[in-house]
């Protein structure tokens, strides 16, 4: 079947357009110049940009296997189908030359030449980039994983038909680990096994940034901590070896540690004593089996040696204790890393914390990943590493649209961002302040429009006058601003003698950002969403409507929303005086790369964001993604599935990294 790239609808293989949304299933749009190109093209014929879907193929000779048995629901992965739909287990492996295909369906085309299959010796592997000529075609592995998440089949990691290395990837899919590449496809042809994964061959090697003199000691400690977490994740699938191949340690665009691929233990590798004489690209820091966590210490020592960096502070003692076996568990190692981080930590923001302020700025407690089990068993109080985070970038975009049924737009938004950047040869400090406001007016033409715009301008003026320090306003200060906006609209209603439904009003959601701290306040059903790679999509605000009020009183959700007035607002700015509103105000840290979205109900209705966040929001976490284009796609999506109301969205992308001021 063909999966539509826009709406994820399942289409027959013969379809040229999606039956659900009409998207082309034979062409796609170049991300650089928007020219339409065929799906099997690697580069755009207009601008030359790479626009094809490329995978990293691991080809190995490791014995034979046939089909994976999954009970009543069987997915064939051991043999590829012919053009007539029949399997052909006797199909011989292709020659691995430039332009040839890995599979008999001629889907995966090699982008470089490699030795013929007979040149691959037993228990050896080669890797190559391949072009997916049918990128919208779901693979057997993808179908299996999707059915597994839906509960349609039982876990199949142990099935005989799946190549050994593929089993490790499948077993880790539930970890939701961005550090581990996703598997796309896998099969066996004779004695040759093929596994296709995300292509990370172009990602920056860890050793390159480790040796960069602008990289702080705290950042290096951050990577060490990530390695301990990955060690615990990889241990159950016998892939700890993946952390011991230095050329396999990569960084994503946010300088987060990632693996290019998985290595299943054991591998034929060099001893640690031979590492210094080898090129960085071929370094393998592997101790004698069985693997123990002191192997991580040997990797770190090799990284210091190859980068010609001096080991700092207590790291020297930690590495010595690891080698001598004085540190035996992951919990002990993480605790030692935490101690070293505390030594490096230098408070740098206490000077801007007036004693009268209720919201005190404190170092961020960053739990870098979900803590995995280790050999000592899982603890409810696993140690975390204390890192002070700093903002590395803050970007935003906003747009409003009238929708498909309304004649005028009662939504209004405002964006104010101030960025102060100080860059020196060995440090870069970014101080930023952002004020983001979204209002959805009510009261008809010249009513709702006036109320929403008046609320935004009133709040902007208030914070220009009262937000003058380098820290967030207090909760009382934010509440005062909201009450003021309410009073301004209320006074206008009184002056014009408006009554009943003729009284103008507006919802409000407001986000304030000061460096890595944020505050949100809202009245009504306009929302704030928060998205990160670790936590996924979260709705931060709770709508002020009858249904939610009843749920808060203990009524079951199904009963609360069966009421005819369930979606009626319980509070809004303007119709009544300040005694009728009680804005919710909350504070939170931005301690990982985060996408924040202010949305009117024209965008959030019918669970549109909850259903489509992985396709329309998650890609925008990437630094290379265009927020303006992303917000346009959101508006288009809302017009397609909602369209009954005005649609407004404000996107903010905040990138963070460990502070460099403490080394």
CATH code for the domain in which residue 481 is found = 3.60.40.10
Angle at 385 between CA 383 and CA 389, to 5 degrees: 150
* 90-112: burial string, b at 16+ Cβ within 10 Å, e else: eeebbebeeeebbbbeebbbbbe
* 40-78: burial string, b at 16+ Cβ within 10 Å, e else: bbbebeeeeeebbbbbbbbbbbbeebebbebeeeebbbb
Task: Specify the length of the chain in residues.
Answer: 663
**Which domain, by its residues, includes 98?**
52-198
Structural contact between residues 261 and 323, judged by C-beta atoms closer than 8 angstroms: no
42 within some domain: no
Residues 6 and 118 in one domain: no
Residues 339 and 469 in one domain: no
234 within some domain: yes
Domain final position from 355, 386, 417: 386
Structural contact between residues 29 and 49, judged by C-beta atoms closer than 8 angstroms: no
Q: According to the model, what pLDDT value does residue 179 have?
A: 86
Cα–Cα distances (Å) from 613 to 29, 180, 198, 624, 642, in that order, read 21, 21, 21, 18, 16
Q: Tell me the pTM.
A: 0.64
Q: According to the model, what pLDDT value does residue 80 have?
A: 46
Torsion of CA 311, 312, 318, 320, to 10 degrees: 40
Residues 19 and 60 in one domain: no
Please name which of 563, 652, 642 lies closest in space to residue 606, comparing C-alpha atoms: 642
Question: What are 197's strand-pairing partners?
Answer: 56, 183
610: number of Cβ within 10 Å: 11
For residue 652, what are its two tokens? Answer: 């903010």
Residues 491 and 620 in one domain: yes
619 within some domain: yes
Q: What DSSP state is assigned to residue 51? A: -
Domain final position from 198, 230, 247: 198
Residues 374 and 399 in one domain: no
Q: 3-state class of 248 per DSSP? A: helix
Structural contact between residues 385 and 225, judged by C-beta atoms closer than 8 angstroms: yes
Q: According to the model, what pLDDT value does residue 115 have?
A: 61
Residues 180 and 220 in one domain: no
16 within some domain: yes
For residue 253, what are its two tokens? Answer: 């665009």
Q: Half-sphere exposure of 513 toward its Cβ, with a 13 Å CA cutoff?
A: 32
Sites in the chain below the pLDDT cut of 70: 62-95, 115-121, 123, 147-161, 174-177, 266-290, 345-388, 423-428, 444-446, 497-502, 659-663
Separation CA 645–CA 613 (nearest Å): 20
Separation CA 593–CA 654 (nearest Å): 6
639 within some domain: yes
State how many domains the chain has.
4
Tell me whether strands 257-259 and 27-29 are parallel, antiparallel or unpaired: unpaired
Q: According to the model, what pLDDT value does residue 657 have?
A: 81
Domain final position from 345, 371, 386: 386
Residues 399 and 501 in one domain: yes
Residues 546 and 607 in one domain: yes
Question: What are 250's strand-pairing partners?
Answer: 205, 258
Residues 107 and 221 in one domain: no
45 within some domain: no
Residues 365 and 395 in one domain: no
Residues 380 and 411 in one domain: no
531 within some domain: yes
SS (HEC) of 550-595: HHHCCCCHHHHCCCCCCCCECCCECCCCHHHCCCEEEEEECCCCEE
Cβ neighbours for 270, distance < 8 A, ≥ 6 positions apart: 278, 284, 286
591 within some domain: yes
Please name which of 205, 203, 202 lies closest in space to residue 303, comparing C-alpha atoms: 205
Residues 176 and 84 in one domain: yes
């Amino acid at each position: 079947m063909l999966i539509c790239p826009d709406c994820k609808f399942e289409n027959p293989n013969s379809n040229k357009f999606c039956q659900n949304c009409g998207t082309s299933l034979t062409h796609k749009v170049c991300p650089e110049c928007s020219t339409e190109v065929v799906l099997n093209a690697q580069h755009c014929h207009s601008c030359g940009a790479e626009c094809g879907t490329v995978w990293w193929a691991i080809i190995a000779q490791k014995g034979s296997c046939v089909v994976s048995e999954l009970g009543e629901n069987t997915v064939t992965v051991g043999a590829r189908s012919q053009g007539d739909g029949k399997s052909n287990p006797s199909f011989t492996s292709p020659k691995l030359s430039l332009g040839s295909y890995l599979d008999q369906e001629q889907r995966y085309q090699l982008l470089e030449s490699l030795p013929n299959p007979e040149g691959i010796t037993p228990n050896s592997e080669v890797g190559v980039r391949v072009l997916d000529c049918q990128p919208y075609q779901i693979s057997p592995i993808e179908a299996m994983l999707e059915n597994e998440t839906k509960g349609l089949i039982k876990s199949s990691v142990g099935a005989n038909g799946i190549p050994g290395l593929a089993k490790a990837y499948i077993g880790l899919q539930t970890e939701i680990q961005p550090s581990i590449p996703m598997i796309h496809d896998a099969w066996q042809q004779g004695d040759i096994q093929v596994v296709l994964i995300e292509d990370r061959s172009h990602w920056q090697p860890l050793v390159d940034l480790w040796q960069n003199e602008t990289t702080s000691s705290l950042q290096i400690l951050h990577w060490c901590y990530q390695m301990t977490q990955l060690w615990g994740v990889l241990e159950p699938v016998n892939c700890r070896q993946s952390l011991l191949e230095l050329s396999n340690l990569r960084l994503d665009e946010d300088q987060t540690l990632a693996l290019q691929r998985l290595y299943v233990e054991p591998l034929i590798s060099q001893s640690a004593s031979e590492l210094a004489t080898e090129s960085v690209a071929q370094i393998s820091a592997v101790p004698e089996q069985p693997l123990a966590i002191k192997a991580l210490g040997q990797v770190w020592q090799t990284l210091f040696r190859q980068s010609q960096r001096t080991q700092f502070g207590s790291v020297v003692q930690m590495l010595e204790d690891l080698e001598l076996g004085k540190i035996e568990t992951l919990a002990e190692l993480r605790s030692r890393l935490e101690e070293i981080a505390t030594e490096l930590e230098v408070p740098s923001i206490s000077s801007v914390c007036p004693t009268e302020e209720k919201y005190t700025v404190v170092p961020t407690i960053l739990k870098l990943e979900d803590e995995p089990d280790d050999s000592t068993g899982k603890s409810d109080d696993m140690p975390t590493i204390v890192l002070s985070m700093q903002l590395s970038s803050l970007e935003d975009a906003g747009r409003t649209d009238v929708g498909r049924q309304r004649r005028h737009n009662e939504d209004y938004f405002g964006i104010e961002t101030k960025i102060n950047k100080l860059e020196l040869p060995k440090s870069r400090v970014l101080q930023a302040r952002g004020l983001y406001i979204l209002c959805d007016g009510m009261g008809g033409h010249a009513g709702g429009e006036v109320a929403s715009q008046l609320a935004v301008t009133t709040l902007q003026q208030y914070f220009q006058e009262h937000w003058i320090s380098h820290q967030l306003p207090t909760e009382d200060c934010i509440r005062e601003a909201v009450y003021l906006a309410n009073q301004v609209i209320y006074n206008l209603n009184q002056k014009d003698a408006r009554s009943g439904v003729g009284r103008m009003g507006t919802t409000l959601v407001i986000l304030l950002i000061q460096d890595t701290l944020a505050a949100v306040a809202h009245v009504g059903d306009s929302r704030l969403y928060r998205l990160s790679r670790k936590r996924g999509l979260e709705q931060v605000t709770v709508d002020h409507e009858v249904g939610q009020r009843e749920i808060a009183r203990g009524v079951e959700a199904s009963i609360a929303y069966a009421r005819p007035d369930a979606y009626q607002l319980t509070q809004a700015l303007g119709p009544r005086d300040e005694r009728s509103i009680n804005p919710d105000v909350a504070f939170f840290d931005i301690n990982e790369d985060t996408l924040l979205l202010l949305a009117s109900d024209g965008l959030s209705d019918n669970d549109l964001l909850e259903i489509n966040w992985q396709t329309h929001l998650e890609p925008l976490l990437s630094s290379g993604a265009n927020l303006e284009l992303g917000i346009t796609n959101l508006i288009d999506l809302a017009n397609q599935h909602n369209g009954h109301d005005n649609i407004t969205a404000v996107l903010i992308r905040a990138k963070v990294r460990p502070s460099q001021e403490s080394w």
